Amino acid sequence: MNVQKKIERFPKIDLHCHLDGSVRPETILEIALKEDIHVPTTKIEAFKQHTQVAEDCSSLKEYLSKFALTSDVMQKSEYIYRITDELLEDLSNENVKYIEIRFAPFLHMEKGMTFEEAVESVLKAMEEGKEKYGILSKLILICMRRHSPEVSVQIVEKGKAYLGKGVVAIDLAGNEHDFPPELHKKAFQLAKEYGFHRTVHAGETGIPKNIITAVEELKAERIGHGIHAYLNEEILEFVKEKKIPLEMCISSNVQTKAVEGFEDHPIKKYLDEGIAVTINTDNITVSNTTLAKEYEILMNKQGFTLEDIKQTIINGINASFASNEEKEELTGIFKEEFFKL
């Protein structure tokens, strides 16, 4: 069996996948037409250009523009259920065994849907997906940096009703430059008190000190991206000492120009230095990627071996917000499938 076939058959895990960035283009187009939402074209191949970035994506601004239509079609619970179900179906075809899906409920409440309807739509699809597709999935609720700290507190207060029912954590995402993590400190302290796990997008766009702030003040257990820790030796040592897992998303980081190219990404340096790096998709549709593609990129551009890939997958199990029993079960499944390969 060649390396590519092995990669395709690898059991996989994804800890950093945004629901609204991972919607089938065909579904976006179909819902938009049904809901009379303006679309630039009805030709699916041309339409994909408005939902996916090209290889020569020039900036974060261009990257974020691909979410416009997705937000518009995710304003009804039936559509959120469908989109979640389709994502799990697609992942099952890639032998993904475990995924933590994240989404920001308040972004889907613009046309009357309630917080509860949005969250329960995802959870229902996830629960049914476990039976249909054999994928264990968990939900992370996102607090948006640009929203007021009070909204973040609301997410924690409302979200605690779903702890133990599929929701495992909260996240902070959005514009790092203008909205530092400490603005949302109260929500994250409350989240810890209630029993939420915590992850924070930090050090993604060139502000490495946000990593320390996220861990010390927001009590983050994992860091989303964390690319720029290497810019400051003190911060890199902090990540090592505290054993903070990093949710790394290679294609996305290159496309948003967080790094210049695949060869410039610090993931191999981090792995070699013993940091618990994990490989994730970020936005499957927008980045036009899969976990297998991410693995291949790392092997071709950074010299990753199959053993390196396996180590990042093991890191993912250990860093996941699954229960200890679920981690043991996943470890057994992964060891068995690795052995077969």
**Catalytic center residues:** 204
Provide the edge-to-edge strand list for the sheet that holds 96-103.
Answer: 12-18, 96-103, 136-144, 167-173, 197-202, 222-225, 246-248, 277-279
Contact 181, 172 (CB under 8 A): yes
* 63 SS3 class: helix
Place of tokens 């691909």: 66
Q: Could you write out the DSSP letters of every residue in 79-139?
A: HHHHHHHHHHHHHHTTTEEEEEEEE-GGGG-TTS--HHHHHHHHHHHHHHHHHHH--EEEE
Residues in the chain: 341
Candidates 182, 51, 50; CA nearest to 200 is 182
What sign results for the dihedral spanned by CA atoms 233, 238, 243, 246? negative
Contact 289, 16 (CB under 8 A): no
Contact 316, 15 (CB under 8 A): yes
